[in-house]
């Protein structure tokens, strides 16, 4: 799939396309982005490690046609992969199968240029082609950028995960 779009007149057009094996390193380089907005009481290093595993598993799932991974290719500053989204199928507890976005990340040098919106459009398009009726995802409560982004794209909060610290002087309340 090619969705050519000029994100700015002087910049290389960004194209959304399915991930290729040779993208693996560039995609994994975006993993630290997925640790942003993680709760203050979590280990950001462990979150980045988890993000690398999720991205690796998502690429494998896409190769096995159990899901899809799309990359944004050709953006600033020097071309190459500037964003990634993974999407697969997930059963909701009501029994309905939803589409589920596992990871979405845009290179900090390419934000606010429409890349995230284009990646989500590709994930939504994949989900529609699968015959699915809802696309769901999770993000950190502290990730205000992502929450504003998803709200701008029409996503509604469906569940809230709560945490209480069990430490005497805990910070998670
Ligand atoms: C969230 C993220 C994917 C957004 O990507 P992006 O390419 O900058 O988003 P877009 O340029 O397509 O923005 C689309 C709209 O979302 C909203 N938006 C995006 N970033 C925003 C911000 N920092 N503050 C307020 N609104 C924002 C705006 O309405 C924007 O439209 P506009 O630029 O015309 O005003 C990117 O910031 C990112 O990779 N963050 C780190 C990883 C992450 O949090 N992933 C998602 C959670 S798993």
Element (H, E) at 85: strand 81-91
Euclidean distance between CA atoms 163 and 88, whole angstroms: 27
Inter-residue contact 86 to 100 (CB < 8 Å): no
Q: Which pLDDT value is given to residue 79? A: 73
Say if CB 87 and CB 99 are below 8 A apart.
yes
Find out whether the beta carbon of 82 lies less than 6 Å from any atom of ligand 1: no
Q: Which of the listed residues 8, 86, 87, 111 should we mutate to test ligand 1's pocket, taking the one with most ligand atoms within 8 A of CB?
A: 111
pLDDT for residue 9: 45
pLDDT at 35: 95
Domain edges within the chain: 15-152
Does domain 15-152 bear CATH number 3.40.630.30? yes
Q: How many CB atoms lie within 10 A of CB 96?
A: 11
Phi–psi pair at 89, nearest 5 degrees: -105, 140
Q: Compute mean pLDDT per 10 residues along the chain, 173 residues long, and list them.
A: 47 89 97 94 97 98 97 78 98 98 96 97 98 97 97 97 88 55
């Amino acid at each position: 799939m090619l969705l050519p779009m000029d994100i700015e007149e002087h910049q290389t057009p960004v194209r959304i396309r399915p991930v290729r094996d040779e993208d693996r390193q560039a995609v994994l380089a975006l993993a630290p982005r997925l640790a942003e907005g993680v709760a203050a009481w979590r280990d950001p290093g462990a979150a980045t490690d988890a993000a690398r595993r999720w991205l690796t598993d998502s690429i494998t799932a896409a190769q096995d046609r159990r899901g899809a991974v799309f990359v944004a290719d050709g953006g600033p500053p020097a071309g190459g992969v500037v964003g990634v989204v993974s999407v697969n199928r997930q059963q909701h507890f009501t029994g309905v199968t939803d589409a589920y976005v596992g990871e979405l990340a845009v290179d900090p040098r390419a934000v606010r240029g429409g890349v995230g919106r284009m990646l989500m459009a590709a994930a939504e398009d994949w989900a529609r082609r699968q015959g699915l009726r809802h696309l769901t995802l999770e993000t950190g409560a502290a990730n205000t950028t992502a929450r504003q982004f998803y709200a701008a794209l029409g996503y509604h909060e469906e569940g809230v995960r709560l945490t209480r610290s069990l430490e005497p002087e805990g910070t998670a309340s």
